[in-house]
Structure 1
Amino acid sequence: MLDLIIRNVVLPDERPGQDIGIKDGRIVDIRPALDIEAVEEIDGGGYLLSPPFVDSHFHMDATLSYGRPRVNASGTLLEGIRLWGELKPELTHADIKDRAHRLCRWAIAKGNLAIRTHVDICDPSLIAVEALLEVRSDLRPFIDIQLVAFPQDGFYRDPTAEALLLKALDKGVDVVGGIPHFERTMAEGARSVQRLCEIAAERGLLVDMHCDESDDPLSRHIETLAYQTQRLGLHGRVTGSHLTSMHSMDNYYVSKLMALIQEAQVHAVAN
């Protein structure tokens, strides 16, 4: 007995008239005219059935906040960070939760059923963490939400960040995040990558780190991230996000860097 059969659908490879058998939340059989009983059946009506969209990099605590406290006139990352710093003291639990719920309802309606969202932990109240943990729980039947503990103000630049990040992880945040290029020196950025990867290794968690979100060819924290991934045996559990400085780097250096990233099995979200 299956839990669900979706009958008469077309698969992405264009096979028509397929039935999909599902048990315990997993697809267990795909074939035409599936001859087995199920608790529930849905007639697909010959429509396309495909995996959902996945949003692999988002900031849900800031969603739908355009123009607050004012528009980013320069369109730059640094002005955006400054504006977020101005907005943070005005945020409420209800406001964050309401905006996140609205965004998630839109995502579900468009077939986006998985979101990895970074959440700012550089706030003593951890108000955004608390709100998004509730949103994750509220919407668990409909969408998979993965939370990244993100030290927006810098892991070492903000003297409270390490304690707050650990507290957020204790509350149930899923992934260790970082922003090494926002630290005050390249050395502190590299040190933050090491410490954050060590925290993830100690706790058996994933890593998703903002890396080198600039045009500076000397911003090479993705190299450190790949090295620490190999050193700590985190292969396949680490993601580097943005990586925009790579387009300014010397081609010879990048040829070595890409091999290192591949060996470490570091994922790239190049947005």
Structure 2
Amino acid sequence: MDLIIRRASLPRSASQHKEPVDIGIEAGRIIAVEPHLAASAPEEIDAAGSLVTPPFVDPHFHMDATLSYGLPRVNASGTLLEGIALWGELKPQLTQQALIERALQYCDWAVARGLLAIRSHVDVCDPRLLAVEALLEVKRRVAPYLDLQLVAFPQDGVLRSAGAFDNLKRAIALGVDVVGGIPHFERTMADGAESVRILCEYAAQQGLRVDMHCDESDDPLSRHIETLAAQTHRLGLQGRVTGSHLTSMHSMDNYYVSKLLPLMREAGVAAIANPLINITLQGRSDTYPKRRGMTRVPEMMAAGINVAFGHDCVMDP
């Protein structure tokens, strides 16, 4: 064996052993998990009873904005809309080197805490594609120890922002992995639905995955996840599409949700909730009672929908 980790505690769901175990590794693969493994290796690590798990995955992050808190000013209202406006104010001041440095610092923090895979959305509404080029360079540099997947994200709306769809296509051509969108930020509900259609059709043509910011709102009538699931089904994208946030679902009536969840399951659309951020951002217009901004995680899991948690933001607008 090349490596043995001694006295490791495993997650209860992953082990039949109640006591610590030794983990034997050869040629990059785990080949033995048992107490008091009768073998030796040139490298042995004593976990001393600490938890040993598979690496963590963050399926929703914004690495182009990370560690930019206070630039160019602090978000006074604490709302998503002011955060987006602040990012728009900062974009003209961005430099590629600063983007790379902040992202690399965050990658170090993430890996130190067990994160070895991150899906990061990267804004494509700047025609210079500074952030895209910066994060592609970061992806190259961190590849030996971190799987960084990038989503082409039209932060200001693919229809609302002039040239955003062309920019998105350019980003994909440069090597960005996934097609993103933000239908609830388009100017009308109809435009939001149209943005879902054109982005899903483009992804289907290119053989790409889709991950859309969807219904990050307290408005129960923001129902773009329904359109996303319908387009996924129409275009045969089952298993390749994700709806992120879905916070409007916390305000929808139960009858509508009883129709929506089976549609999502049938279309194979996954859901990514971002609890740390959305319980802070949502409900800002409420007096009392205040809504907490969490989508219907238990109900989606019970319906057979794949659900994950993302971090979304670290020290950004």
Q: 2:177 aligns with which of 157, 174, 177?
A: 174
Q: Report the alpha carbon displacement of residue 226 of structure 1 after superposing the two structures with TM.
A: 0.7
Question: For residues 80 and 225 of structure 2, what CA distance do their matches in structure 1 show?
Answer: 19
Letter in 2 for 1:9: A
CA RMSD after TM alignment: 2.0
1:65 maps to 2:68: yes
2:224 maps to which residue? 221
Question: For residues 25 and 240 of structure 2, what CA distance do their matches in structure 1 show?
Answer: 28
Q: Report the alpha carbon displacement of residue 40 of structure 1 after superposing the two structures with TM.
A: 5.2
1:6 maps to which residue? 5
Post-superposition CA distance 1:49-92 (Å, at most 9, x none): 11222222111111111111111111111111111111000000
2:201 aligned counterpart, secondary structure: helix
Q: Report the alpha carbon displacement of residue 36 of structure 1 after superposing the two structures with TM.
A: 7.2
Provide closer, same or farther for how the CA distance between residues 34 and 232 of structure 1 changes in structure 2, counting only shifts above 3 A. farther
1:206 maps to 2:209: yes
Letter in 1 for 2:9: V
Q: Report the alpha carbon displacement of residue 259 of structure 1 after superposing the two structures with TM.
A: 1.2
1:109 maps to which residue? 112
Question: For residues 103 and 46 of structure 2, what CA distance do their matches in structure 1 show?
Answer: 32
Q: Report the alpha carbon displacement of residue 224 of structure 1 after superposing the two structures with TM.
A: 0.5
2:33 maps to which residue? 30
Q: Report the alpha carbon displacement of residue 43 of structure 1 after superposing the two structures with TM.
A: 4.3
1:187 aligned counterpart, secondary structure: helix
Provide closer, same or farther for how the CA distance between residues 139 and 36 of structure 1 changes in structure 2, counting only shifts above 3 A. same
Provide closer, same or farther for how the CA distance between residues 172 and 5 of structure 1 changes in structure 2, counting only shifts above 3 A. farther
**Superposition pairs of residues 52-91 of structure 1, within 5 angstroms:** 52-91=55-94
Question: For residues 88 and 222 of structure 1, what CA distance do their matches in structure 2 show?
Answer: 29
Higher relative contact order (CA 8 A, sep 6+): 2
Provide closer, same or farther for how the CA distance between residues 32 and 180 of structure 1 changes in structure 2, counting only shifts above 3 A. same
Question: For residues 149 and 270 of structure 2, what CA distance do their matches in structure 1 show?
Answer: 16
Q: Report the alpha carbon displacement of residue 240 of structure 1 after superposing the two structures with TM.
A: 0.5
2:124 maps to which residue? 121
How many residue pairs match? The answer is: 270
Q: Report the alpha carbon displacement of residue 181 of structure 1 after superposing the two structures with TM.
A: 0.7
2:279 maps to which residue? none
Question: For residues 174 and 198 of structure 2, what CA distance do their matches in structure 1 show?
Answer: 20
Provide closer, same or farther for how the CA distance between residues 223 and 10 of structure 1 changes in structure 2, counting only shifts above 3 A. same
Q: 1:147 aligns with which of 137, 145, 150?
A: 150
2:285 maps to which residue? none
Provide closer, same or farther for how the CA distance between residues 30 and 170 of structure 1 changes in structure 2, counting only shifts above 3 A. farther
Q: Which runs of 5+ in 1 are unaligned?
A: none
Question: For residues 125 and 24 of structure 1, what CA distance do their matches in structure 2 show?
Answer: 43
Question: For residues 75 and 167 of structure 1, what CA distance do their matches in structure 2 show?
Answer: 33
Question: For residues 120 and 106 of structure 2, what CA distance do their matches in structure 1 show?
Answer: 12
4-13 or 142-151, larger mean C-alpha shift: 4-13
1:196 maps to 2:199: yes
1:267 maps to 2:270: yes
- Using the size of structure 1 for normalisation, the TM-score is 0.91
Q: Which runs of 5+ in 2 are unaligned?
A: 275-317
Aligned residues: percent identity?
A: 68
Letter in 2 for 1:186: M
Provide closer, same or farther for how the CA distance between residues 240 and 24 of structure 1 changes in structure 2, counting only shifts above 3 A. farther
Q: Report the alpha carbon displacement of residue 113 of structure 1 after superposing the two structures with TM.
A: 2.1
Question: For residues 166 and 39 of structure 2, what CA distance do their matches in structure 1 show?
Answer: 53
Letter in 1 for 2:251: S
Letter in 1 for 2:186: E
2:98 maps to which residue? 95
Q: Report the alpha carbon displacement of residue 270 of structure 1 after superposing the two structures with TM.
A: 2.0
Q: 2:238 aligns with which of 232, 235, 239?
A: 235
25-34 or 69-78, larger mean C-alpha shift: 25-34
229-238 or 119-128, larger mean C-alpha shift: 229-238
- Using the size of structure 2 for normalisation, the TM-score is 0.79
2:118 aligned counterpart, secondary structure: strand
Letter in 1 for 2:8: V
2:238 aligned counterpart, secondary structure: coil
Question: For residues 253 and 242 of structure 1, what CA distance do their matches in structure 2 show?
Answer: 18
Question: For residues 171 and 23 of structure 1, what CA distance do their matches in structure 2 show?
Answer: 37
1:138 aligned counterpart, secondary structure: helix
Provide closer, same or farther for how the CA distance between residues 126 and 9 of structure 1 changes in structure 2, counting only shifts above 3 A. same
Post-superposition CA distance 1:155-214 (Å, at most 9, x none): 111231111111111111111100011111111111111111122222222111000111
